[in-house]
């Protein structure tokens, strides 16, 4: 016999004093990335691969640890993603001469061509999002996200790029 789940009570609703910020951010992220997914799928790249391509276009060659930070990809996942991207001819990985333990990741001409080919579509999606939420809100939201990241101990995208250089 199946039991019915308990119905939340008023006491349950008062357990937490704040809204679920991580869940709200995930829901917002999902709504945003859903707009980009068709373009990425049509280009044959995953969301993680695109984050790496875009980051390498904007920052230049990086070490994996820098990609982990800038692209919010776990270190164990990154190794597999980089290997697949290398197999696809989108990037190269080479040992740094002064320290053979360290790698440098660089986009190939094929990776740069992918970025150039996708850029107009990606920019059109950003324009659609901005039209939906308003230019002022978009500008303020970017500023708010940078401030949130900075105050909670991370780096903003601009600071991350400076560190990566």
Torsion of CA 76, 78, 80, 83, to 10 degrees: -140
What pLDDT digit, counting tens, does each position of 110-119 carry? 999 999 999 9
Q: What is the pLDDT of residue 101?
A: 83
Distance of CA 154 to the CA centre of its chain: 14
Distance of CA 64 to the CA centre of its chain: 15
Q: Which CATH architecture has domain 30-164?
A: Orthogonal Bundle (1.10)
pLDDT band for position 1 (50/70/90)?
low
Look up the pTM and report it.
0.82
Average pLDDT of the chain is 90
Contact 114, 24 (CB under 8 A): no
Contact 92, 86 (CB under 8 A): yes
Q: At what angle do helices 109-133 and 47-59 cross, to 10 degrees?
A: 100
Closest CA to 154 of 65, 98, 70, 95: 70
What pLDDT digit, counting tens, does each position of 47-100 carry? 999 999 999 999 999 999 999 999 999 999 999 999 999 999 999 999 887 887
What pLDDT digit, counting tens, does each position of 20-45 carry? 999 999 999 999 999 999 999 999 99
DSSP class of residue 19 equals -
Closest CA to 66 of 147, 141, 155: 155
pLDDT band for position 158 (50/70/90)?
very low
């Amino acid at each position: 016999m199946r039991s019915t789940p308990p119905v939340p009570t008023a006491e349950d609703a008062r357990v937490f004093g704040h809204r679920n910020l991580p869940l709200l951010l995930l829901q917002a992220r999902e709504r945003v990335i859903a707009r980009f997914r068709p373009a990425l799928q049509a280009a044959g790249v995953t969301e993680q691969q695109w984050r790496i391509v875009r980051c390498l276009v904007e920052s230049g060659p990086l070490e994996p640890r820098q990609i982990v930070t800038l692209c919010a990809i776990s270190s164990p996942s990154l190794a597999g993603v980089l290997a697949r991207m290398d197999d696809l001819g989108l990037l190269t990985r080479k040992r740094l001469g002064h320290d053979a333990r360290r790698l440098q990741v660089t986009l190939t001409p094929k990776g740069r061509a992918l970025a150039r080919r996708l850029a107009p579509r990606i920019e059109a999606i950003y324009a659609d999002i901005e039209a939906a939420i308003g230019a002022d809100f978009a500008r303020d939201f970017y500023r708010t996200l940078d401030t949130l990241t900075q105050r909670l101990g991370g780096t903003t995208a601009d600071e991350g790029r400076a560190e990566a250089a």
